[in-house]
Amino acid sequence: MSQLTLNAPAKLNLYLKVINKRPDGFHNIKTLFERINLIDRVGLKDNTRGEIRITCNHPHVPLGSKNLVYRVADLMRTNYGMPDRGVDIDIQKVIPVAAGLAGGSTNAAAVIMGLNRLWRLKLQHKDLIAIARQIGSDVPFFLYDTSWAMGTERGDKIRPLKIDRKLWHILVVPKVKMHTPKVYGAIKIGKKEGQGNIGGSEGTNLLTKPGDNANILVHKLRNSNIINISSLLYNDLEKVVVQICPRIKKLKEKLKSLNAMGVTVSGSGPSVYGLTDSETAAKQIQAQLSNRYTQVFVVRTF
């Protein structure tokens, strides 16, 4: 095998609770991941020059060492005794960049799986997960063959979930730059464990002790209607995202006015999604938003 191509799907966070700050500077969270059918294509091909070369159809994707896929390839060839091994990586982007949909992370996961096959490393799943956790907090989720999973610790400790339901979403990605470190950096931890605020001592309380709403949401996904599900969607980071970019609040209100349910920011934003009861309903909302927003998607659990 000298080349292969893999799918790299996006994710939504249907629930995201920030618990506390870790000694390593990251945050412990509890999140419910949903894989969706917004999918990049990642091609891998051996090259004989010993170089890691990246091409991409999106102008804002870095083609050098700042790209997570470069870090994956460099780490794997170093760790497994192939410092001169080369690979061409072509990324065909469909997932919007820096949107809270884990586009870079899913590309990285695809390259981890792809290089294991391309370079015949014969690594076990636990080895692939160990690599993924070194690359990024969202990367491990995409190494599991599951539509749904609970993520804890940095979001990188994954528990796959058996949920048969497929949800329809309307997804809007406004043209706003939202950087994950900046969003998490706006969270301040208070003196008491599990307490915090945005920006300073007079800010809104943000960090709370993790409740059981994530598990209730999982139960509702298995057993209840979409209205009950939508009432439990939640993201602690949304308060920060709206503070950084107040017009995201207006987008949320617009989606609600068009009968989208449970309208929530995904991850560290700026993507905003809502539930609909059918593909038709999602497409009707899409038609009403497409003149105002250039990135409006109808997506489903994948």
- Residues marked as catalytic: 11, 138
The two three-digit tokens of residue 210, written as one number: 């993790």
- What is the three-class DSSP state of 65? coil
CA nearest to 9, candidates 131, 130, 101, 77: 101
* DSSP summary character for residue 301: B
Contact 296, 290 (CB under 8 A): yes
Query: How far apart are alpha carbons 225 and 18 in whole angstroms?
Result: 27
The two three-digit tokens of residue 229, written as one number: 């599900």
> Across the strands, what pairs with 273?
171, 264
Contact 136, 122 (CB under 8 A): no
CA nearest to 107, candidates 83, 126, 132, 80: 132
